[in-house]
């Protein structure tokens, strides 16, 4: 039977990254797109439980949902594709890297988390944008990673976080398996007055140029490599178990 691939993102159904991803995967299998109807960046692993969701079939097998990336994967797998669940879920191509701590905010990565929870191999793919926007490079990377995941499968409860530098394909330094690094942002809160004279606040600042920690996603993408980080659903910090056990608990 033909390979079925579900595609989603957090930049929204009309974003160029998901269109480039779709174009880049032609020939790999039957594609179904289920994506948020508007941008949902930094929505994390949020699931809509307090209101109904609507699914709009914009084109054959191309659906826009008025929800989060996680809603899209949930509806895609458990409803739209319920008769033949996808063999692979790909989330992206995100406009902007998902490096280091970004993954805790990322709707792109959360969509891949959701697929993993549903037992389907998944990866997120993001383009670390500068001014050039080589989405085509990231689409080729996605094609290669998808082929490998379909061939080898993934370790249990594990997804891949793929980040691509904004370079032409020929300029890539190579593929590297990495670990999650650090990336920090400006902590500035901008305060201003709205037209009615009330205060408002704008959070979320520029990326601060942090140190490059060897072997991490951020460092290798900066050096021109495609970074592939295996991420685990188990968030336990095993090194913290012993010290916490040694606190003097009352019983
Ligand atoms: Mn995004």
- Mean pLDDT lowest among 12-16, 31-35, 186-190, 243-247: 186-190
Condensed to tens digits (0 to 9), the pLDDT of residues 156-197 reads 999 999 999 999 999 999 999 999 998 878 888 999 999 999
- In the reported structure, the alpha carbon of residue 197 is separated from the centroid of ligand 1 by a whole-number distance in angstroms of 32
- In the reported structure, the alpha carbon of residue 250 is separated from the centroid of ligand 1 by a whole-number distance in angstroms of 46
Q: Is residue 194 part of a domain?
A: no
The terminus-to-terminus CA distance of the chain in angstroms comes to 57
Would you call 53 exposed, middle or buried from its count of C-beta atoms within 10 A (0-12, 13-18, 19+)?
Answer: middle
- In the reported structure, the alpha carbon of residue 175 is separated from the centroid of ligand 1 by a whole-number distance in angstroms of 23
- In the reported structure, the alpha carbon of residue 91 is separated from the centroid of ligand 1 by a whole-number distance in angstroms of 10
Indicate if the pLDDT at residue 205 is higher than 80. Answer: no
Condensed to tens digits (0 to 9), the pLDDT of residues 32-61 reads 999 999 999 999 999 999 999 999 999 999
pLDDT the model gives residue 167: 97
- In the reported structure, the alpha carbon of residue 79 is separated from the centroid of ligand 1 by a whole-number distance in angstroms of 24
Give the domain CATH number at 234.
3.40.1210.10
How far is it, in rounded angstroms, from Cα 56 to Cα 37? 9
Q: Is residue 200 part of a domain?
A: no
Average pLDDT value for residue range 143-161: 97
- 169-188 burial code (b ≥16 CB/10 A, e <16): eeebeebbebebbebeeeee
Segments forming the whole domain that contains residue 176: 4-183+211-245
- In the reported structure, the alpha carbon of residue 98 is separated from the centroid of ligand 1 by a whole-number distance in angstroms of 9
Looking at the chain, the whole-number percentage of residues with pLDDT higher than 70 is 98
- In the reported structure, the alpha carbon of residue 239 is separated from the centroid of ligand 1 by a whole-number distance in angstroms of 32
Average pLDDT value for residue range 185-210: 86
- In the reported structure, the alpha carbon of residue 92 is separated from the centroid of ligand 1 by a whole-number distance in angstroms of 8
- Average pLDDT of the chain? 95
pLDDT the model gives residue 28: 96
Indicate if the pLDDT at residue 206 is higher than 80. Answer: no
Q: Please, which pLDDT band fits residue 10 given cuts at 50, 70 and 90?
A: very high
Q: Is residue 176 part of a domain?
A: yes
- In the reported structure, the alpha carbon of residue 215 is separated from the centroid of ligand 1 by a whole-number distance in angstroms of 24
- In the reported structure, the alpha carbon of residue 42 is separated from the centroid of ligand 1 by a whole-number distance in angstroms of 7
pLDDT the model gives residue 211: 66
Q: Is residue 21 part of a domain?
A: yes
- In the reported structure, the alpha carbon of residue 27 is separated from the centroid of ligand 1 by a whole-number distance in angstroms of 26
Angle, nearest 10°, between helix axes 135-152 and 16-24?
A: 50
Total number of domains constituting the chain:
1
Indicate if the pLDDT at residue 209 is higher than 70. Answer: no
Ion ligand 1: residues, CB < 5 A: 10-11, 41, 94
Full 3-state SS string of 15-35: CHHHHHHHHHCCCCCEEEEEE
Average pLDDT value for residue range 113-128: 98
pLDDT the model gives residue 238: 97
Q: Is residue 216 part of a domain?
A: yes
Q: Is residue 77 part of a domain?
A: yes
- In the reported structure, the alpha carbon of residue 39 is separated from the centroid of ligand 1 by a whole-number distance in angstroms of 7
Q: Is residue 70 part of a domain?
A: yes
- In the reported structure, the alpha carbon of residue 122 is separated from the centroid of ligand 1 by a whole-number distance in angstroms of 17
How far is it, in rounded angstroms, from Cα 97 to Cα 102? 8
Looking at the chain, the whole-number percentage of residues with pLDDT higher than 90 is 90
Yes or no: say if 159 and 124 are a contact pair by the CB < 8 Å rule.
yes
Q: Please, which pLDDT band fits residue 108 given cuts at 50, 70 and 90?
A: very high
How far is it, in rounded angstroms, from Cα 225 to Cα 116? 25
Q: Is residue 37 part of a domain?
A: yes
Average pLDDT value for residue range 76-96: 98
How far is it, in rounded angstroms, from Cα 177 to Cα 160? 10
pLDDT the model gives residue 11: 98
- In the reported structure, the alpha carbon of residue 105 is separated from the centroid of ligand 1 by a whole-number distance in angstroms of 10
- In the reported structure, the alpha carbon of residue 242 is separated from the centroid of ligand 1 by a whole-number distance in angstroms of 38
Indicate if the pLDDT at residue 140 is higher than 80. Answer: yes
């Amino acid at each position: 039977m033909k390979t079925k691939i579900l595609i989603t993102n957090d930049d929204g159904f009309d974003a160029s990254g998901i269109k480039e991803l779709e174009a880049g995967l032609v020939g790999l299998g039957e594609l179904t797109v289920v994506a948020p109807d508007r941008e949902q960046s930094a929505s994390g692993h949020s699931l809509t439980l307090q209101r109904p969701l609507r699914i709009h079939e914009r084109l054959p097998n191309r659906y826009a949902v008025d929800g989060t990336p996680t809603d899209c994967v949930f509806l895609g797998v458990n409803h739209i594709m319920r008769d033949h669940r996808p063999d692979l879920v790909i989330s992206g191509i995100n406009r902007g890297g998902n490096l280091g701590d970004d993954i805790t905010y990322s709707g792109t990565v959360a969509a891949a988390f959701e697929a993993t929870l549903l037992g389907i191999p998944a990866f997120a793919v993001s383009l670390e944008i500068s001014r050039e926007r080589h989405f085509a490079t990231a689409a080729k990377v996605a094609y290669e990673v998808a082929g490998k995941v379909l061939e080898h499968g993934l370790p249990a409860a594990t997804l891949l976080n793929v980040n691509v530098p904004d370079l032409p394909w020929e300029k890539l330094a190579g593929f590297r398996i990495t670990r999650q690094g650090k990336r920090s942002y400006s902590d500035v809160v901008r305060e201003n007055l709205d037209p009615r004279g009330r205060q408002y606040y704008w959070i979320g600042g520029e990326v601060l140029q942090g140190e490059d920690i060897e072997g991490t996603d951020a460092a290798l993408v900066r050096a021109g490599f495609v970074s592939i980080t295996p991420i685990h659903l188990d968030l336990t910090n095993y090194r913290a178990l012993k010290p916490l056990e040694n606190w003097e608990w009352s019983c």
